[in-house]
A and B are shown apart, each in its own frame.
Chain A
Amino acid sequence: MRRLLLLLGLLVVGAGPLGAQTTLTQPPSGQPRIAVPLEPPLAPARPAAAPESPLIAHLSQQSAEISTTFAGSSIFVFGSSAVPLGLDGADVVVVVRGPTDAVTVRRKVRILGMWFNGPSSRFENVPGFYGVAGTMPAWHVLPEELRRQYGIGLDALEFQRSGASSGNFRQALEDLRREQQLWLEDSAPVRVEAGRLFYVRLPLPATVPAGDYAVEVMLVRNRQVIAHQELPFVVERVGTAATIADVSRGQPLLYGVLCVLLAGFAGWLGSVLFRRG
């Protein structure tokens, strides 16, 4: 166990040039979420020694904090496989799903020479963040029906919808989300080190929604998911940003009055400090 953690620690340090600055100062010290009996964890000669789960995955940080200086973050997933990874071996697929919300997609139409919002389509339970990465693209290593069943890949996301039913709206939702970098598909591959260790960093833009995320790590071999692990991740507002959002939501009247008083005070202060002539 200790050997494994040490190796993982070294790996994270080694991944420094890839932008692992946040993890450099804090090598992973927490216990893996799922206790897997991995007696000699990296012994290729005895694959039968780990029959329960040949996969062990971990997050460098279990949360991202939205403070007033928040400008984006990332999820760093790493782990090891008891079966060799890469060509002729197994593959790793990582899926991150953020909190869901209803989204309305509107299409602009031209009326009297001016452009207005026209027909709309409403999608339920749309993930505010969705990212998929793999050592190989998921469609390459998994049969189509299995990939759809697991919901791996942007085209495998299905939503209840109402309103305009044209397929353009579903495509527009995907395009706009990709453009905002809130939906990622194979933007960066999962990297493999020494045939056993894997890691990937999924970037979170500044517009990520706060809430509970789920990071799903799958080990795929012979077009089958042979091991699977789910890790929780949370994006939370902290400090002033959290207080402001909470007060605004919980006590809107108090918040409105405070905004008025604060703005009035700032105006008065400015007129006293910067009076000219």
Chain B
Amino acid sequence: MQVYLPIAEMSVNAFLLIGIGFGVGWLSGLFGVGGGFLLTPSLLLLGVPAPVAVASGANQVLGASVSGLIAQWRRGNVDWAMGVVLVVGGLIGSAIGTQFFAWLRSLGLVDAVVAIFYIVVLGSLGSLMVMESVRAILRRRAAVPRRLHQHFWMHGLPLKVRFRKSRLFISVIPPAVVGVLIGLLSAVMGVGGGFMLVPAMIYLIGMPTSVVIGTSLFQIVCVTAGVTVLAAVQMGSVDIVLTLLLLVGGVVGAQFGAALGGRLRGEETRFLLGALVLGVAALLGWGLIQAPERLFSLTFD
């Protein structure tokens, strides 16, 4: 069944979009991330213009994350204070990011820069996660006792605030900076930033894992909402038909993925996610190095 996307101005198969939504939703339910880092490249492959793919991808991640947030909130796993700090940082970051994106678009560099952002961020994150999880799997037998988190220079910064749910008493500067960076990346890459935020909260801020997922979802919902509105105002590139079709598959897939995810160990999940992230990075890198099929491309104003 062909459906016309009014903003992307193209006709696509509705079942294909629902299928992509399901696949991405399944993976995101399994790994506890929004899944935008997989969705945007898939849309680009379908021929959706980059600005529409990025903005509509963020809008779909928003929808998919709302359901997860509701579930986590019921279990009391959301640190609202930490969430607000991350969100304020994230909104500043995404405002800078959308400006940056519009500027890149005027230079015609969007596709290359989005691809490089993806490769660098996914490549480094994927390798870190794979190495960390392999070490964790090996360490499991050794069972070395560990401290809650390491103390280093970051904990000497001023403006200390108590985050009760996370059982932390730290400066607001590191979470705010993390928020800004992830907001910036999500505006340029069209992702909620969950796959970057989750490791950042565990390893950099030192939050307990139980609170991380819920708080990350809260931040993703707010940041993607900001990105959606800003992209709609500045570029008019949010395609609600595209978003809703993806969501139909996405929300169903997420529930199936979450059911499977419950049966995997934490480090096994992290290893699989890391491998997936690395795979996407490698595929995109190959696309940038490989000689293009067409040397010329058209853009409209």
Instruction: Pick the interface stretch among A4-12, A98-106, A154-162.
Output: A98-106
How far, in whole Å, are A71 and B137 apart by their CA atoms in the complex?
A: 52
Q: A139-187: which residues lie under 8 A (CB-CB) from chain B? A: 168-169, 172-173, 175-177
B112 contacts A252, CB within 8 Å?
no
Interface 1/0 per residue, B227-238 and A, CB below 8 Å: 011111100101
* A37 in the interface (beta carbon within 8 A): no
Contacts between the two chains (Cβ within 8 Å), count = 196
A104 contacts B108, CB within 8 Å?
yes
Give the chain A neighbours of B298 by CB distance below 8 A.
Answer: 103-106, 173, 176-177
Known contacts A101-B300, A105-B298, A114-B288; A244 and B66 CB within 8 A of each other = no
| Dominant secondary structure at the B interface | helix
* A257 in the interface (beta carbon within 8 A): yes
Number of interface residues of A (CB under 8 A): 61
Instruction: Pick the interface stretch among A16-24, A191-199, A268-276.
Output: A268-276
Number of interface residues of B (CB under 8 A): 62
B255 contacts A274, CB within 8 Å?
yes
Among candidates B4, B71, B295, residue contacting A271 with C-beta atoms closer than 8 Å: B71
B296 contacts A253, CB within 8 Å?
no
* CB-CB nearest in chain B for A205: B11
* A267 in the interface (beta carbon within 8 A): yes
Known contacts A256-B228, A263-B243, A271-B251; A207 and B60 CB within 8 A of each other = no
Among candidates A68, A103, A207, A257, residue contacting B9 with C-beta atoms closer than 8 Å: A207
* CB-CB nearest in chain B for A113: B289
Q: B43-84: which residues lie under 8 A (CB-CB) from chain A? A: 59-60, 62-68, 70-71
- Chain B: residues with CB nearer than 8 A to chain A? 1-4, 6-7, 9-11, 59-60, 62-68, 70-71, 108-109, 111-112, 221, 225, 228-233, 236, 238, 240-241, 243-244, 247-248, 250-252, 254-256, 258-259, 262, 288-292, 294-301
Q: A114-B289, A253-B233 are in contact. List 15 more A-B contacts (CB 8 A).
A: A106-B297, A108-B295, A114-B288, A177-B298, A237-B6, A240-B241, A241-B241, A248-B6, A257-B229, A260-B225, A262-B244, A264-B66, A264-B225, A266-B244, A270-B63
